[in-house]
Structure 1
Amino acid sequence: MSAISKFVSSRNFGRISGALLSVKSNRNYFSYTQSLSQTLDRKPEFMTAKQAFEKCLKSGQTVFSQGAAATPVPLLDAMTAVGMAGSMRDIKVVHMHTEKEAAYVKPECKDTFRSVSLFMAANVRQSVAEGRSDVIPIFLQDIPKLFHRKIIKPDIAVIQVSPPDNHGFCSLGTSVDCVRAALVNCKTIIAQINKNMPRTFGDAIIHISHIDYAVEDNTPLPDHGSKPPTPEEMQIGKLIGENLVEDGATLQMGIGSIPDAVLSALKGHKDLGIHSEMFSVGVIDLVRRGCVTNNKKTFHKGRIVASFLVGNQELYSFVDNNPFIEMMEVDYVNNTHIISLQPCMTAINSCMEVDITGQVCADSIGTRMYSGFGGQVDFIRGAGEGVDGKGKPIIAIVSQTSKGVSKIVPTLKVGAGVVTTRAHVNYVVTEQGIANLFGKSLRQRAYELIKVAHPDQREALEKAAFERLKCMPSP
């Protein structure tokens, strides 16, 4: 028997009222409470992943999967195998961004499983393009409502947690986002207990007594090594760091070369704060240098606030058992009003392309779905509404692709999705400079954007702007 199994067997997880104790022991914990932190008088059954799904997986069900670095890949692989072996049909698998290969979206699984993405990752793009998987366009802050309003009703929730502490509490670790909303509205919880999952705080805590089936599996978390920023991306980081990020600002940014370039340009800043749906390993150096203190934040003073993480072992070690980090539900972290209350809220996001009026496409390449709405609009609008009047909504992109295709375009591609509207956009930053579009007319916007386009593209953009607007771009 493993140490975890012995712990579960040897503990009495507390008593609830006599009235509740009269409920039959085989009833689901949702008969008792929706609070994942409440201690219940029950224990999970320890078994293999295959055994867990053989007990509860059926045709026509909806399965929710945790995502990001917490994607329970061994459980999802077992689910796929059991579903296929049993010739099951019409099982929906609902998730945000997930990592590694998604076996359940393979062509041979199309009659058994159908993926439903709330934010797409690379592992499901092909199946979406071929019509075997679905996408729900939605702001990150609204995703928990899908569960609370019973629009999505999971039968099974598949998660990955840290081992229980001395009091029986596990942690959702690197992925809180919409997970709690799914858990309190599902019927059965299958949890992979993994010693490699960092223990995080905030909304991440779940007592082991709420888990129905527990599977011990210590598969390492995915390691996302970031590419070094290009010279163009470094210049973007420098422009933003030197011109748009003030001391005491609260930052939101994602993962990737441009966010890393911005972070590397902030080593001389003071009292920065982080309130972001996610953050990357670049934040760690700023914390160690004393640049990120969170001391100027309106609330959660002295704490980094995030909702999910994807990174490498350095990041996972940094957040493990670290009270400096609070992992909160995404309907709180990405709430536009909450964002607007942060001091000098500076939101830095990227996209596929921007047209000369300021429309931003971020979720598709033409008609082909690529990702999702994510938190871009949540934070761009939250920063724009900053109650201190100092918020800075920023779209940061290189001016052209490695193949020489301009990312500032006369019109968006046919079928391209407008994620951030032209009214939301304030700053657009490329390696060529900073365009401030707030309060600008269409011809003024075209003028500002052409100035930050690649020099090789400016003449063609100016001609296209004249054809579209029937007047020359002008300051």
Structure 2
Amino acid sequence: MTMIIASQHKMRNEEKGKVMDYKNKVISLTEALNLVKSNDIIVTGLGAAEAQLFMDNIHTVADRVKNVTITNCLSMCSGKFLNEEYKESFNIDGWFFSPLMRKAFKNGNIAFIPNHLHLAGKKRLAHVKPNIYVGSATLPDKHGFISLSCSNTYERRMIDEADIVILEINPNYPRTFGDVEIHYSEIDYLIEADYPVPTLPDVDSSEKDFVIGKYIADMINDGDCIQLGIGGIPNAVAASLKDKKDLGIHTEMMTSGMVDLVNLGVINGSKKTLHKGKIVCTFALGNQKLYDFMHDNPSVLVMDGHYVNDPDTIAKVDNMVSINTTIEVDLTGQCCSESIGPVQWSGTGGQADTAIGAQKAKNGRSFIALYSTAMVRNPKTGEKEEISKIVPMLKQGAIVSLSRNDVDFVVTEYGIAALRGTNTRERVERLIAIAHPKFRDELRKQALEVGLIYEK
């Protein structure tokens, strides 16, 4: 095994810089799957950068391998390898859970990797090195360069460390720029693919979303630089920014809503203090319009997640505005954004990265948004009931994604609670003020009962 790996690395080095027929590296899907061995550690790309063919078919080798670890992030594939029947063959470690990962979690072979996104790849490599990296990419250009296309959150770092590198090259993937370009001579094997780039359906914003979006948009100034996520609230924020001017983008995720703002002339990056005139992201996921916009567009830079999401990098962007969502907030400001109690739901992602980085920036601001209530099923009656998402204490076992020390503005459909520099009594008062009116008296009573505040 050691001799094979050494030979592959030697071949990469000898070929680098040469112009040669990339077809020499093309193998079939079956040949690629045959490279998988028991106890291998496999890493695939984030979201749309995942190797769809390889991951959709890796379950077919389950009968001959054991204890293979698949490491993914926001997986978009069919997930057949997650089926309970394959749990002796595959372990799955995720940086960010997808719906299929949540559903299969009870099988016992799935685990979450706690992380801040800008350190996800670096810290993982300090723990384990991949035997195989497999991801998606564009076809080589006339100079032999492939673009990793939709993500470089951790992908290039894994390519540099993996024993074997396999890329599914696909004419449907947008050719992007930044630090995603890699010569095909540095890749061990290529699989020719022709599937469409995975998309996220556009989410319609609700009336509550637009109320929250307007609150946040009113605090965004012409010339600000923004970071947005996905979902109804971020989409509503984007829709509420159409009258702004000279906005910039420095974000972990590039979204479809950002393209609309570029086309309207709202986003041009002319006031940015870092990468002026450029849209900077570490991955992209959205609709086909997004991918068409990114293709061969030098104004879009897809860069290493360790750089883009580093709070110290974000701090260099004057007037930076971070906008994220959460599941539950306690009355001191702790945000649970990734779990339902102790049950992993999604992931920390870059929430802490961007919230902290934005507040370190000159004139920077950070917003955490959520609905004031949610409908949940009562475990005793089985009936759905409305509960407050602003609570005296987080649910038992809840994961704190953003500490109260790092929370700036909290927004619901009832207003904005400015928490920067406030004491705990002020936080209790301000957060109760943006809770649903029907829960405010009870929240105050509970705050007194648990000792968050005392009557004077």
TM-score by length of 2: 0.93
Letter in 1 for 2:202: S
Counterpart pick for 2:193 among 198, 202, 217: 217
Aligned CA distance change for structure 1 residues 470 and 233 (closer, same or farther; 3 Å): closer
Residue 98 of structure 1 aligns to a residue whose secondary structure is: coil
Output the CA distance in 2 between the equivalents of 1:447 and 1:40. 67
Instruction: Quote how far apart the aligned CAs of 1:26 are.
Output: 8.4
Aligned residues: 444
Letter in 1 for 2:26: F
2:450 is the alignment partner of 1:463: no
TM-score by length of 1: 0.89
Counterpart pick for 2:261 among 276, 286, 303: 286
Output the CA distance in 2 between the equivalents of 1:455 and 1:225. 33
2:58 is the alignment partner of 1:85: no
Counterpart pick for 2:88 among 111, 130, 140: 111
Output the CA distance in 2 between the equivalents of 1:463 and 1:283. 43
2:400 is the alignment partner of 1:400: no
Instruction: Quote how far apart the aligned CAs of 1:348 are.
Output: 0.5
Letter in 2 for 1:263: A
Counterpart pick for 1:46 among 17, 23, 26: 26
Counterpart pick for 2:55 among 56, 61, 76: 76
Letter in 1 for 2:9: Y
Deviations 1:183-222 (A, max 9, x none): 0000111111111111100111121222222111111122
Instruction: Quote how far apart the aligned CAs of 1:267 are.
Output: 0.9
Equivalent residues in 2 for 1:17-416 (5 A)? 27-29=7-9, 43=22, 44-54=24-34, 56-82=35-61, 84-86=62-64, 88-146=65-123, 148-149=125-126, 151-242=127-218, 244-386=219-361, 388=362, 390-402=363-375, 404-416=386-398
Question: Mean Cα displacement is larger for which, 424-433 or 438-447?
Answer: 438-447
Letter in 1 for 2:203: K
Instruction: Quote how far apart the aligned CAs of 1:37 are.
Output: 8.3
Aligned CA distance change for structure 1 residues 471 and 52 (closer, same or farther; 3 Å): closer
Deviations 1:436-464 (A, max 9, x none): 01121212101101111111221211111
Aligned CA distance change for structure 1 residues 112 and 266 (closer, same or farther; 3 Å): same
Output the CA distance in 2 between the equivalents of 1:353 and 1:147. 28
> Among the aligned pairs, what percent are the same residue?
36
Output the CA distance in 1 between the equivalents of 2:230 and 2:18. 36
Residue 404 of structure 1 aligns to a residue whose secondary structure is: strand
Output the CA distance in 1 between the equivalents of 2:13 and 2:435. 56
Deviations 1:327-352 (A, max 9, x none): 00100000110101101110001111
Instruction: Quote how far apart the aligned CAs of 1:409 are.
Output: 0.9
Output the CA distance in 2 between the equivalents of 1:366 and 1:418. 10
Aligned-CA RMSD value: 2.2
Letter in 2 for 1:225: P
Letter in 2 for 1:349: N
Letter in 2 for 1:276: T
Output the CA distance in 2 between the equivalents of 1:364 and 1:295. 38
Contact between 1:129 and 1:369, CA under 8 Å: does it hold in 2? no
Deviations 1:103-130 (A, max 9, x none): 2221111111100111221121133344
Contact between 1:255 and 1:279, CA under 8 Å: does it hold in 2? no
Contact between 2:205 and 2:236, CA under 8 Å: does it hold in 1? yes
Contact between 1:444 and 1:473, CA under 8 Å: does it hold in 2? no
Q: Runs of 4 or more off by more than 4 Å in structure 1?
A: 23-26, 30-34, 36-44
What's 2:380 paired with?
A: none
What's 1:18 paired with?
A: none
Output the CA distance in 1 between the equivalents of 2:6 and 2:418. 61
Query: Which structure 1 segments of 5+ residues have no match?
Result: 1-22
What's 1:5 paired with?
A: none
